[in-house]
Structure 1
């Protein structure tokens, strides 16, 4: 475990870049074409917890792990180019557990254990909006940036119009039969489906328009570690880690598992599909790049990544 556990990762939307934040207080930038580390910066004062790209390929937003009570600096706007803090964002009283950037403008959102969601603008220090919620808040923008989702207590998902969120949610969905808190939300690329991962390692795919549950999958529990799932680019498959260290893939139309891989090291806490490449990345204490095997005869070729490249955190 050279770099410690990886806390979060994010792909740039238009460049072949990946950023990770780790328990050793590092933020690392990778070239995903070659799976090579480009740059490492350390943040011993604040730590490195949640991380996401801005629209600029060398700028990221990173959340704070340490000294939050004394500084109030819950989020930092970082330049990876020269390891410089461009702006601090103060407001959250406890750790940020969910972070996402708008795909269309300079706004971003953060959800915190202080039971609030805050909307920010990269260009100003002050918070632009606050939503007070019950439970653990998790946030996500859709791919067009028109709608954002907020998960809260008892499996409730509230949908907001990004341009008029002050008017309140325009719809609320309930994940029936499961009161576990949602730890991750993703929209499919076509905006038709939402992917929810809960703290007790259940995965649900919901219709993004009506909220109906399309399918659900249960995984081995992973004490003290929340796992993450991801859609394939066509929105037809879901890939996820599990508490026993395996990776799984399902067809959401047939609800069948189509692949299971044991090649990963440790419980996968972070997993995302690259927006511009036929690959996904899984992370525990090791960062693994998974790519499809073009010679496979499988009918589910897009979910048959038998060739892998592994890159230890260095």
Structure 2
């Protein structure tokens, strides 16, 4: 018990400041007092028994020494009884000692467990201190983050306020701009109407003079075509001028210089204004004439026309201008003078590369397709697009004027062909064409599209339905329609060109040549302006020209391009051919 007290006293002295230790000490003391009170009676009884035993032993020793000779038998009985009582007491003492040892072992175990708990408590206290430090750090970081969040929230609120003000200001500016544009458009329309009325009056007088004018010609033209005019009337002598839109003059009698000069005097005039709405002017513009195209024989001029590769090239119907478009996002206009390409200007506005170019029949407007999912419309007297046709979800691969010049057809990689109204600059019809569309051509009622699924499809634009499919052996890269609108030329990745008879809708002739190979999925092949020849560029940098009548290769123009040719163009006069390639070079070819 004494070691236990010392242990408790030592523990109490070292940890008096901690309440839980004091509580344990108090419990131990209470248990000690309870157990000690139980053993006090045993200890006192044991001491009394020892004293009595010692007294009895002393008395017995004296009695035995005094009365040994006389009372031997009786003394033996007393001794035996004394031994009996002493043994019982000793047995009880032994039992009590064993119980004391057991209690001391239990107490030692309790002390060991108490020390273990103290050690664990120390470790837990250290961990608690560490966690409290971590909590303090986290709280400090949270406070910093909260301060930053409050600052960002305040900045956002201020920025949002500024944004709303700017948005309101922008909407006001847009409304003002729309109002100004409407007023400017009204003024422009008024001026155009006055010009048209004045032109109609002048044209009416000229038509009357021309109708009364007598011409001496040996053979009268049987089908001379004049541009259709809503203003032409019957002449006083009853003669009537025939009108049509889609054909070039081809008969020798119709191309008499005296007739042509008379017609030119009637219809040539200086174009004024920038409005795209006065489409009536186009009806009176003379068309280009080609009696016979000449097969080019040599390169007469070479120029790096763009900063990057060139994708498209096109001559104007009057053969005076050439347009090229490339991946540098611009269209460049060129004059051909004395066998030299002279840069006349640049048309900007596209956000990505140009994929195709087409002039209208007047040669004053340009339509281009672009990689930026749109088609753009320019007038040559303005370098900024008049408007942009947007609505496709992927790049626009082709854009063409319809025969009436009031509508435009575009083909796209998004597997659609769209028809647009130029008056409203809006899509009026969308045709699902089932496959990637690489090129389109148009007639009055039909749209013809070429596709990556190796098919040419004929669409009725009035019903948006496919009327016929012509299968090929390779991906279609380009389409072109003959000047007489009777034959369709296709170029495909099976390294050949094919003619399709539009009257029979079947393949008429296949054109191949050793070494000819399509360099890309957008390689362009074309008719000559008289329809007698075909021209296409090859991956080996050569221009191949075939004769339509014989089907044989007419010539191969090489040694000028360094890489694959993407497109070729043939002037309406039949005198020049221009080829362009991916390395930004343009080559002018001629027969002299």
1:65 alignment partner in structure 2: 371
1:48 alignment partner in structure 2: 354
1:233 aligns with 2:529: yes
1:254 alignment partner in structure 2: 550
Cα contact 1:201–1:226 (8 A) shared by 2: no
Cα contact 1:16–1:276 (8 A) shared by 2: no
CA distance in structure 1 between the partners assigned to 2:536 and 2:516 by the alignment: 11
CA distance in structure 2 between the partners assigned to 1:275 and 1:148 by the alignment: 24
Q: Which runs of 5+ in 2 are unaligned?
A: 1-303
2:486 alignment partner in structure 1: 192
1:174 aligns with 2:478: no
2:433 alignment partner in structure 1: 133
Aligned equivalent of 2:511, options 212, 217, 230: 217
Choose 262-271 or 211-220, whichever is displaced more.
211-220
1:101 alignment partner in structure 2: 401
Aligned equivalent of 2:454, options 121, 142, 155: 155
Query: Cα 1:226–1:45, aligned 2, differ >3 Å: closer, same or farther?
Result: closer
Cα contact 1:175–1:213 (8 A) shared by 2: no
Cα contact 1:19–1:28 (8 A) shared by 2: yes
- Residue 54 of structure 1, CA deviation: 3.6
2:329 alignment partner in structure 1: 25
Task: Please give the secondary structure, in 2, of the residue aligned with 1:243.
Answer: coil
1:38 aligns with 2:344: yes
| TM-score, reference length from structure 2 | 0.44
2:312 alignment partner in structure 1: 8
Over alpha carbons, which structure has the higher Rg?
Answer: 2
Aligned length: 280
1:289 alignment partner in structure 2: 588
Task: Please give the secondary structure, in 2, of the residue aligned with 1:92.
Answer: coil
CA distance in structure 2 between the partners assigned to 1:225 and 1:149 by the alignment: 18
Aligned equivalent of 2:376, options 48, 51, 76: 76
- Residue 47 of structure 1, CA deviation: 4.1
- Residue 50 of structure 1, CA deviation: 2.6
- Residue 87 of structure 1, CA deviation: 1.4
- Residue 102 of structure 1, CA deviation: 2.0
CA distance in structure 1 between the partners assigned to 2:573 and 2:401 by the alignment: 17
CA distance in structure 1 between the partners assigned to 2:309 and 2:364 by the alignment: 23
Question: What is the CA deviation profile of residues 252-279 of structure 1, one whole-angstrom value per residue up to 9, with x for unaligned ones?
Answer: 3322112111143132101122234432
CA distance in structure 2 between the partners assigned to 1:237 and 1:182 by the alignment: 20
- Residue 111 of structure 1, CA deviation: 0.6
CA distance in structure 1 between the partners assigned to 2:530 and 2:469 by the alignment: 24
Choose 193-202 or 45-54, whichever is displaced more.
45-54
Cα contact 1:20–1:51 (8 A) shared by 2: yes
Task: Please give the secondary structure, in 2, of the residue aligned with 1:269.
Answer: strand
CA distance in structure 2 between the partners assigned to 1:233 and 1:57 by the alignment: 15
Query: Cα 1:211–1:264, aligned 2, differ >3 Å: closer, same or farther?
Result: farther
Query: Cα 1:232–1:9, aligned 2, differ >3 Å: closer, same or farther?
Result: same
Superposition RMSD in Å: 2.5
2:418 alignment partner in structure 1: 118
Cα contact 1:25–1:48 (8 A) shared by 2: yes
Query: Cα 1:202–1:59, aligned 2, differ >3 Å: closer, same or farther?
Result: same
Question: What is the CA deviation profile of residues 16-62 of structure 1, one whole-angstrom value per residue up to 9, with x for unaligned ones?
Answer: 22211112222101124553211023446344333322455443223
Aligned equivalent of 2:576, options 275, 279, 282: 279
Task: Please give the secondary structure, in 2, of the residue aligned with 1:150.
Answer: strand
- Residue 110 of structure 1, CA deviation: 0.7
Cα contact 1:120–1:126 (8 A) shared by 2: yes
Bigger fraction of residues in strand: 1
Task: Please give the secondary structure, in 1, of the residue aligned with 2:517.
Answer: coil
